[in-house]
């Protein structure tokens, strides 16, 4: 049930672009993206709902392909502040009014000058 993220790690130079992928074998209700810096709590980036449109936040955007149950996070013109571990969370309806969010193992992104 845990979504699979790829790549596991990536190193970028400032200004370069990156794509992080997240795939699930289960039908999804939504996909969440969070970023966690070392020693800190995860911070919300965006949610993509089934049937929804591509979302964007500044130079970070994401898409959700319902047919393939895949989501991709796009980071353009990366900045040093983008460094951290990115987690996708796939949300399924697990019955009795409950929605379970299952996180992938994360993608470690390092942006260097």
Partner 1 sequence: GAGVSQSPSNKVTEKGKDVELRCDPISGHTALYWYRQSLGQGLEFLIYFQGNSAPDKSGLPSDRFSAERTGGSVSTLTIQRTQQEDSAVYLCASSLRTGQGASYEQYFGPGTRLTVT
Contact code string over 71-100 relative to partner 1, x by CB under 8 A: ----------------x-x-x--xxxxxxx
Interface with partner 1 includes 43 (CB under 8 A)? yes
> Which H, E and C letters describe the chain, residue by residue?
CCCEEECCEEEEECCCCEEEEEECCCCCCEEEEEEECCCCCCEEEEEEECCCCCEEECCEEEEEECCCCEEEEEECCCCHHHCEEEEEEEEEEEECCEEEEEECCCEEEEEEC
The answer to whether residue 47 forms part of the interface with partner 1 (CB under 8 A) is yes
Q: Which of 29, 61, 63, 76 binds partner 1 (CB under 8 A)?
A: 29
Residues that bind partner 1 (CB under 8 A): 2, 29-30, 32, 34, 40-44, 47, 49, 87, 89, 91, 94-106
């Amino acid at each position: 049930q845990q979504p699979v993220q790829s790549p596991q790690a990536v190193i970028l130079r400032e200004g370069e672009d990156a794509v992080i992928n997240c795939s699930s074998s289960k039908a999804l209700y939504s996909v969440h993206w969070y970023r966690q810096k070392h020693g800190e709590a995860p911070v919300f980036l965006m949610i993509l709902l089934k049937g929804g449109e591509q979302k964007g936040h500044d130079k970070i955007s994401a898409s959700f392909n319902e047919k393939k149950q895949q989501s991709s996070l796009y980071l353009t013109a990366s900045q040093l502040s983008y460094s951290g571990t990115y987690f996708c969370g796939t949300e399924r309806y697990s019955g009795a009014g409950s929605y379970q969010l299952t996180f992938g193992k994360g993608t470690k992104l390092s942006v260097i000058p």
